[in-house]
Structure 1
Amino acid sequence: MSVKIIIGYLRLFNRVLQQEQIDLSKVVSPELWHAFQNCLENPDEQDFDVERYALLLQAAQPHFTRPITLVLAEHANLQDLGLMGYLASTSFDLQQALQLLQRYYSLVFKQTNLEQLNVQQLPEYIQIVWSASYPDYREMYELNLALIFKIAQSIVLDHLAPPQMIQFGYAPHTSLYHFERFYGCSIQVQAGQYAIRFSNQILKAKSIAADQQLNQVLSTQAQQSLSRISSIEIQQQQFKQKILTYIEQGLVQQEEVLQSYVAKRLYCSERTLQRQLKVYQLNFQDILDQYRLEQSKLYLQQGKSLSEIAELLNYADQSAFGRAFKRWTGYTPKQFLKSL
């Protein structure tokens, strides 16, 4: 299942291309460029998915000396986030804006609440955290993180102190230096989770555009929009996320038969698990291979040895892992590292 994004992201990207006079029509495939232009012209009739958007960002990156995601964030306005942006702009203060962001974050995507976003408020700070299960979406994660920072800046009109902490779930394709300069703080990388943390001192900063009556109307619209999202798509993503979570736990505990372990955690038999997967048009081995591939790339970049990775991913030995990696990518692990 592809995850669709709202038209605001496409318009933002197109606006930056026009301002910088960049022509990608001869760089990307004709099919991708046609789909991009067609969606811009007919947003109510055409959809655009995250995978293709990430390909556009990657194609545009060589034209910029800084991460394209930061360039987009600097050119963005709240309306590019659609209804979510209007909700933030009419919020009473940053605290309300972040609470609404948590509730309606899935409206950034047109089909499904891909990643659950959580706002965690503690005595001294508030942080926004969400898991990241798809390394191919890393540019999208980076862009959304930068846009959350942009939302905070637009509401807190006084000078916004640098975040107390920024965390990336995947190492970016460009230097961390650019991101540290953008946010004004150091960046840490922790597999599979993005986060941004603010001091509680800025939470009560009032927004000059606050309009509680309009905000309530928009909140009602947002709730109605959520209710229209296809329940089967949400259920499919949630079920897949459960499978991934239990696969990760099973690998940590060195469970020999992962499918059996996952079935037990779901309180069902393996046969029942297979039937449930079939209902959601999923395949257990595909999910497991996808997870192993993503983790193996991360482990390789972290400098772990092949024997360590084989053990972490529950392979009999490093040769078995090497064969699986080449089957997935067409490269041996050493060739993959050399390509980086």
Structure 2
Amino acid sequence: MPFFIQIATYLFCGVTMSVKIIVGYLRLLQRVRQHYHLEHLSQQKAWADYWLQFSQALDQELEQGFDLHVYTQLLKQVQSTLSRPVSLVLAEHATLQDVGLIGYLASTSLNLQQALSLLEQYYPLIFKQTNLEQLKIVEQQDLIQISWGALYEDYREMYELNQALIFKIAQAIIQQHLIPPVFIQLGHVPNFSISYYAQFYGCDVTIREGQYCIGFSKQILRARSFAADQHLNQMLSSQAKQSLQHADTFEHRQQQFKQKVMGLIEQGLRHQNEVIQHYVAKQLHASERTLQRQLKQYQLNFQDILDEFRLQQSQLYLKQGRALTEIAELLGYADQSAFGRAFKRWTGRTPKNYRADLHQD
């Protein structure tokens, strides 16, 4: 199945959807790429521009981070050469330094409990501009549960990678055989057999659409870190707090809210059992009027966000060769004609012409 391999930027709401990740993820991918001798992937014409961006960002150690969409597309290309989930392969080659400040905070923590607490507090720093989902850590009787939402199915590999990295961070901190997690929960159906994940984590793996989760027994929380240094940890925590405050801008909150709405639109279109705006408002525990007021505060418009999502998805579906009737249904249109009119309004071309141009290219 072909992937979405061309970037296009469309300004519907005055802002673009741009999520950045820290450069450590690039170093990790490059390590795996070299280990498996995959340098030839950049020679494939359709992917050459993506790898060029990747190489330039890696060389320059970009402070502003690297585009998450480009990174996920590279993961999918690398996946096409591997016989196991790319997320697990990368995690096997990961170091604490790959997750940046979070890794240093974790390694200097007194124990795993403190490390996880800091992870919850500063998890947004893994994403340089906009955090995708809020990570939550909840303690229950004999269990500690780490979970986060998974609104964007296209970021499945990234969700899986972060889950595997949390597991590897815990292993690296205590420098001993980590008692296997009590359970692992995937938020999207993986492209591989569950057995790969069960073998990696050493425990049962389940699927619950929309939420990733990892559960540890509380008995490992007091396991002392091999490199505990409270003075250094406090200095790093202060640095992390300043970084979070610096990132807390109107643009940051605007994009964060826009992404949340877009993710709920994706969910709502999958269900298609009620009006999409009503569905989104309900998931946000708000009325439609309240939702409109919240959008206005961020200089956003619901119809513009819906159009942007539909345009992005329709281009992806057309590249995948899906039938126009199927695309119309997936995007919540009454029929193929309604979808065709909308697509031409956005791009100036009919879906058939757009697909013909793809084949010509």
Give the TM-score band, short-chain normalised: 0.7 to 0.9
Q: How far apart, in 1, do the equivalents of 2:96 and 2:152 lie? A: 26
- Tell me, yes or no, if structure 1 residue 7 matches structure 2 residue 28: no
- Tell me, yes or no, if structure 1 residue 149 matches structure 2 residue 167: yes
Change (3 A) 1:69 1:103: same
- Tell me, yes or no, if structure 1 residue 44 matches structure 2 residue 65: no
Counterpart for residue 183 of structure 1 = 201
Structure 2, gaps ≥5 residues long: 1-16, 315-325, 344-350, 353-361
Of 203, 206, 209, the residue aligned with 2:221 is: 203
Counterpart for residue 70 of structure 1 = 88
- Tell me, yes or no, if structure 1 residue 262 matches structure 2 residue 278: no
The CA deviation string for residues 141-171 of structure 1, in whole angstroms up to 9 with x for no partner, is 0110000000111123332121111011111
Change (3 A) 1:224 1:170: same
Q: Is the 2:262–2:305 Cα contact (8 Å) retained in structure 1?
A: no
Counterpart for residue 106 of structure 1 = 124
Q: How far apart, in 2, do the equivalents of 1:70 and 1:208 lie? A: 24
How far residue 107 of structure 1 moved from its aligned partner, in angstroms, is: 0.7
The CA deviation string for residues 244-269 of structure 1, in whole angstroms up to 9 with x for no partner, is 68866999896557359839925746
The CA deviation string for residues 80-117 of structure 1, in whole angstroms up to 9 with x for no partner, is 11001000000100000000000000111110122100
- Tell me, yes or no, if structure 1 residue 121 matches structure 2 residue 142: no
Q: How far apart, in 1, do the equivalents of 2:178 and 2:250 lie? A: 41
Counterpart for residue 22 of structure 1 = 38
- Tell me, yes or no, if structure 1 residue 233 matches structure 2 residue 251: yes
The CA deviation string for residues 54-96 of structure 1, in whole angstroms up to 9 with x for no partner, is 1111111233222121111111110011001000000100000
Q: Is the 2:21–2:127 Cα contact (8 Å) retained in structure 1?
A: yes
Q: How far apart, in 1, do the equivalents of 2:71 and 2:263 lie? A: 26
- Tell me, yes or no, if structure 1 residue 31 matches structure 2 residue 49: yes
Q: How far apart, in 2, do the equivalents of 1:257 and 1:148 lie? A: 34
How far residue 283 of structure 1 moved from its aligned partner, in angstroms, is: 2.2
Q: How far apart, in 1, do the equivalents of 2:91 and 2:279 lie? A: 44
Q: Aligned AA for 1:4? A: K
The percentage of aligned residue pairs carrying the same residue is: 47
Q: How far apart, in 1, do the equivalents of 2:152 and 2:80 lie? A: 23
Of 158, 180, 200, the residue aligned with 1:162 is: 180
> Number of residues paired by the alignment?
311
- Tell me, yes or no, if structure 1 residue 283 matches structure 2 residue 299: no
Q: Is the 1:124–1:199 Cα contact (8 Å) retained in structure 2?
A: yes
Structure 1, gaps ≥5 residues long: 294-305, 332-340
Q: Is the 1:88–1:151 Cα contact (8 Å) retained in structure 2?
A: yes
Change (3 A) 1:282 1:224: farther
How far residue 291 of structure 1 moved from its aligned partner, in angstroms, is: 12
Change (3 A) 1:260 1:202: closer
Q: Is the 2:24–2:100 Cα contact (8 Å) retained in structure 1?
A: yes
Q: How far apart, in 2, do the equivalents of 1:139 and 1:249 lie? A: 22
The CA deviation string for residues 310-331 of structure 1, in whole angstroms up to 9 with x for no partner, is 8x99888xxx599869x99x89
> Superposition pairs for residues 80-95 of structure 1, below 5 Å?
80-95=98-113
Q: How far apart, in 2, do the equivalents of 1:5 and 1:29 lie? A: 20
SS of equivalent residue, structure 1 residue 63: coil
Q: Aligned AA for 1:262? A: A
SS of equivalent residue, structure 1 residue 130: strand
TM-score (norm 1): 0.78
Change (3 A) 1:194 1:323: farther
SS of equivalent residue, structure 1 residue 167: strand
Q: Is the 2:272–2:332 Cα contact (8 Å) retained in structure 1?
A: no
Change (3 A) 1:46 1:105: closer
Greater RCO structure (CA 8 Å; 6+ sep): 2
Q: Is the 2:184–2:206 Cα contact (8 Å) retained in structure 1?
A: yes
Change (3 A) 1:65 1:259: closer
> Superposition pairs for residues 241-320 of structure 1, below 5 Å?
243=261, 256=275, 258-259=277-278, 262=281, 265=286, 268=289, 272=293, 275-276=296-297, 278-279=299-300, 283-286=304-307
SS of equivalent residue, structure 2 residue 80: helix
Change (3 A) 1:314 1:59: closer
Q: Is the 1:107–1:226 Cα contact (8 Å) retained in structure 2?
A: yes
SS of equivalent residue, structure 2 residue 116: helix
Counterpart for residue 5 of structure 2 = none
> What RMSD, in angstroms, separates the aligned Cα atoms of the two structures?
3.7
